[in-house]
Amino acid sequence: MDVGLLTQYVMNGLMLGMMYTLVAVGFTLFFGVLDIIKFSHGDVLTVGAFTALATYIGLRSVGISSTPLLLLAMLVVAILAMAALGMLIARYLVMPLRSAPPLNTLLITLMLGTVLREMVRLFYPQGANPKPFPALLPTGSINLGQFNLRLDNVIMLAAGVTIIIGLRLLLDRTKLGLAIRAVAQDEETARTMGINFTAIVLITFAIGSALAAVAGVMNGLYYNEINFGMGLLLGVIGFSAAIIGGLGSIYGAILGGFLFAALQTIGAVALPFASAYKDVFAFTVVIALMAWRPTGLIQEKISERV
Amino acid sequence: MTCLLEARGLTRRFGGVVALDNLDLAVVPNEIMGLIGPNGSGKTTFFNVVTGIYGAHGGSVTFDGADITRASSRAVYHAGVSRTFQRSRLSLPLSIFDNIMIGNHKRLNQGLWFNLVRRGEFEREFEDNYAAARTLIEVFEPRLAERMFEPVAGLPMIDRRRIEICRALISQPKLLLLDEPSAGMTHDETKELMDDILQVRELNRSLTIVIVEHEMGLIERITDRCVVLNFGRKIAEGPYRQVAVDRQVQEAYLGVE
Amino acid sequence: MSEVRQKPRAPLLPGVVALALSTVYLIALLAVEKQPLVIGLLALAVVAVLAAHYMDWLNPVARSFAEREGTLSVYAILAACVVAAFFHDNHFVLLLFVTVLLYTVATLGLNIEFGYAGVLNFAGASFFGIGAYTSAVLNTYTAVPHLLVLLIGGMLAALIGSLLLLPVLRTRGHYAALVTIAFALLLKTFLEVNDVLGGPQGMQVKGMSILGWSFNDNFEVGKIEMSFYLNYFVVSMLLLCGTFVLVRRLERSWIGLNLDAVRLDETAASCFGLDIARWKITAFVLGNFVIGVAGALFGMVGGFVAPNNYTFADSLIMVSILLLGGIGNPWGLVVATFIVVVLPEKLQTIQEYRFLLYALIVIMVLLFRPEGLLPRPVRRYFPGWRA
């Protein structure tokens, strides 16, 4: 196939990988810190996207039309709102269930996801229909001889990379990051070292949810459309990406996210007759990988003591 | 003298930590052997490797003539090894009877047809095993025998330990591994528990017991001999009194002056 | 020695009274149409249950059911027949009733997987749908006898379920969750893009007929006109009774014990010889078989199948029924299924909100009463048995 088409696929794959990674990192952070699976993560992404859209509509209706300002406002509002939502979820739904079997946390977050999804569907004006998302990034493209690189994709990719690097720096170089890693390793010891466990958990949930918000906005910008069910499949993909990478490892989440995107792209190329099958292909490979390496390609943290 | 259980050069690592370091250990049939050593010396890890929960990174384990180094937990149980756990692992919502029966797996008919259709025969097997479980728990605490269908969740620690030991004994194993049975109990309770175990031993002279313990009084009273571990290696072996005055053992526990 | 079994001590009366009252209430609820009346009846139920709780009338009922289960089960079947007879010419109510019965069967199947063995299955509705689609395809394109179609539906659901579970058997619980959620989402898409299976519109299903007796024709007894749904009622009741007996015997056996052991502590269980993989697969195959058979029958009852009826959200409703009713307790399941299925039908206003509503209720249950409405009691191998 020609180079232009190839680059298309590659760029597409990279964009998807970036979005999946942002979601997967959230899953991995939550599992790392609390040993729990927060199934509502994908739906937090949806709420983030809709919050951004609502902000846009609100600001436009009062006459603001400066694109960079709009975009900035949408991001800030979505991030802050989702961070707050994440903290509320942690404080009122997840932490009270710490002494119950982990199944209960899984179930409660699954149900919460449904609540979030249904609330968008029922209470956002015409939430059941897909909503157009504004194109707020520069629409030009860079011409590199045989193919074009869309400027907005490049910007989003760069933004995603920056965020991941930023997260890595946060975890590795700051006191907060150290505290998070300590809690992820061993809660009891972290507590005896004077780390405020609850605060760290809340902050971690805030960070993870903020990442979801960014992923939601990115999703909207990329597809120019959002719908109430978008978080469901993204959540499942993000979760599987986190698992095959190795739950608890940031690098694993990155690896898993891009691996899944690559599989989808290969599936789309190999099975052009029905795009739905690319997901089936990707998931089948992922499940096979899970069977082969249940603890992930990069070791999942072992949390059971015999 | 042939050993019942023998470990040769047994090695197990966890990341950078060497939990079992080329360990050589032999258990003689019908003895009660104490396995002692400071915290982190590899005692529970040894149990976990023998019972197939962890694999070995080197060396071998032989039981009753067969190599069980790579055997699964299931296979080790079926070969005749039973155990208790450091943090008592009972199924709390289940009844006393249920918990004991879990230990009796190899002697119960697990067929679908038998369990679902042949209810008359199933009832007979149930009654026989109920009687067996009652008899066993009566050795330890007759009052529990009256409460066989109560959930374990509400019971005090000492009763739970007793039930755990019954669970391990009901299948009439050849080797019983006790992991810190006295943890969480008072001196008197521990003494009671050990008396009960000795009583079971009286009834079943062919039972071999290895017991991990920190309570030295218990070890001294019960065991025929001891093996002392430190950093995953055997550093002393012999009757308790002999081992207790061994220089190396004292250093391991108390540190060097 | 069988003389060990003495006379059971709990009286029959509390259970009978509870059954009778529930039957009358159910008939009233099903018969009433006007919304204010429905709301009134619901309020009455809430008040009555709370009052019974405070007067400590619920415990005798529970004991009665626990020890006299055999007799009370027969009375429950009679009660169901009374309800069906009362509405003998009312298509709508009978269809609703049959739907409840079949959903109960499916959830009992899910209970075997989830409640007993602890295998997470968030694609219950998908397997139900596989059964229904089996009916659709076999009835339309082949002449396979319909009872056999039911069996095939069950086996197909069991087979596909095993294929799904096998890769993740030796992994932790959340893997099964992930795999089944992915399956639920992807199956719907698969059904929608496949025109052979009717695409998004779905397919018609020919009604059941056994030995020439067509189930889709109304019939008469003497001069009384009977709705054809009574045919399906009879088959569904038989299926429910069979499933109930299966689930009961399963729980009250060494196999039930094994499933519990696997669910509660895998490591300890394998140290006592249990083959974890074997018991998980057994539970999953049995459970899915039951779900598939119920689905196959449901397809014939409803007359058509469509992807939109068997979505992930529907699977979550099944899980909600389990959690609400009390995981592992079949009687709780029956009650919970009634509540979850009948309520949105009678209270039209909440139809649209039912996913949201049930998700919220389950969240409340998990936070404040995780054992559910009717918590699962300790295993009694033979009810009424005394040592």
Which of B151, B167, B183 is where one domain is finished? B167
Using the structure block, give the residue that is written with the tokens 């006299």: C68
C281 membership: H or E segment, kind and range: helix C276-302
| B156 and B125 in a common domain | yes
C299 inside domain: yes
**CB of A13 within 8 A of CB of A265?**
yes
Confidence of residue A302 (pLDDT cuts 50, 70, 90): low
C327 inside domain: no
Confidence of residue C8 (pLDDT cuts 50, 70, 90): low
On whether any CB of chain B is under 8 Å from the CB of A302, the answer is no
If we measure between CA atoms, which residue out of C233, C302, C217 comes closest to residue C85? C233
Q: State pLDDT tens for residues B22-77.
A: 999 999 999 999 999 988 888 999 999 999 999 999 999 999 999 999 999 999 99
On whether any CB of chain A is under 8 Å from the CB of C170, the answer is yes
| Domain CATH number, residue B232 | 3.40.50.300
* Shortest distance, CA B89 to any CA of chain C (angstroms): 7
For the residues B171-190, what does the mean pLDDT come to? 89
| B142 and B76 in a common domain | no
Q: Alpha-carbon distance B44 to C378, whole Å? A: 32
CB neighbours of A19 closer than 8 A, spacing ≥ 6? Answer: A160, A215, A218, A219, A222, A234, A257
Q: Which of the 8 DSSP states describes residue A6?
A: H
B85 inside domain: no
Q: Alpha-carbon distance C290 to C279, whole Å? A: 17
Q: Alpha-carbon distance A290 to A296, whole Å? A: 7
Range picked from C63-72, C252-261, C303-312 for highest mean pLDDT: C252-261
Per 3-state DSSP, chain C is made up of helix, strand and coil in percentages (nearest 5) of 75, 5, 25
Which of B167, B183, B203 is where one domain is finished? B167
C51 inside domain: no
* Shortest distance, CA B116 to any CA of chain C (angstroms): 6
B236 inside domain: yes
Residues of B in contact with C258 (CB under 8 A): 105, 110
Burial class (CB in 10 A: 0-12, 13-18, 19+), B86: middle
pLDDT surpasses 70 at B255? no
If we measure between CA atoms, which residue out of C200, C220, C185 comes closest to residue C316? C185
Query: Regarding beta strands B32-36 and B208-212, do their DSSP bridges make them parallel or antiparallel, or are they unpaired?
Result: parallel
Q: State pLDDT tens for residues A16-27.
A: 999 999 999 988
pLDDT surpasses 70 at A126? yes
On whether any CB of chain A is under 8 Å from the CB of C298, the answer is no
| B177 and B162 in a common domain | no
pLDDT surpasses 90 at A82? yes
| B155 and B196 in a common domain | no
| B69 and B13 in a common domain | yes
On whether any CB of chain A is under 8 Å from the CB of B85, the answer is yes
* Of the partner residues C171, C179, C367, the one whose CB lies closest to the CB of residue A294: C171
pLDDT of residue C12: 85
| B112 and B74 in a common domain | no
The boundaries of the domain holding residue B21 are: 1-80+173-257
Q: How many independent structural domains does chain C possess?
A: 1
pLDDT surpasses 80 at A221? yes
| B104 and B61 in a common domain | no
| B238 and B195 in a common domain | yes
C372 inside domain: no
| B128 and B12 in a common domain | no
**pTM as predicted:** 0.91
C351 inside domain: no
SS3 A227: coil
Q: Which of the 8 DSSP states describes residue C114?
A: I
Confidence of residue C2 (pLDDT cuts 50, 70, 90): very low
Residues of C in contact with B102 (CB under 8 A): 257, 261, 268-269, 272, 274
What percent of chain A shows pLDDT beyond 90?
Answer: 36
Verify whether the Cβ–Cβ distance C355 to A118 is below 8 Å: yes
* Shortest distance, CA C53 to any CA of chain A (angstroms): 26
**CB of C128 within 8 A of CB of C310?**
yes
Which of B145, B167, B189 is where one domain is finished? B167
pLDDT of residue A303: 47
**CB of C111 within 8 A of CB of C286?**
no
pLDDT of residue C168: 86
Using the structure block, give the residue that is written with the tokens 């550093």: B235
On whether any CB of chain C is under 8 Å from the CB of A115, the answer is yes
Say if the ipTM goes beyond 0.95. no
The boundaries of the domain holding residue C105 are: 87-317
| B62 and B5 in a common domain | yes
Q: Alpha-carbon distance A261 to C7, whole Å? A: 66
Q: Which long-range contacts (CB under 8 A, 24 or more apart) does B48-52 make?
A: B48/A306, B49/B10, B49/B12, B49/B20, B50/B5, B50/B7, B50/B76, B50/B81, B50/B177, B51/B76, B51/B77, B51/B81, B51/B83, B51/B177, B51/C271, B52/B76, B52/C270, B52/C271
On whether any CB of chain B is under 8 Å from the CB of C271, the answer is yes
* CATH code of the domain occupying A3-125+152-292: 1.10.3470
| B177 and B64 in a common domain | yes
Q: How many independent structural domains does chain B possess?
A: 2
Three-class secondary structure assignment of C311-353: CHHHHHHHHHHHHHHCCCCHHHHHHHHHHHHHHHHHCHHHHCC
Strands (DSSP E) found in chain A: 131-132, 141-144, 147-150, 225-226
pLDDT surpasses 80 at A295? no
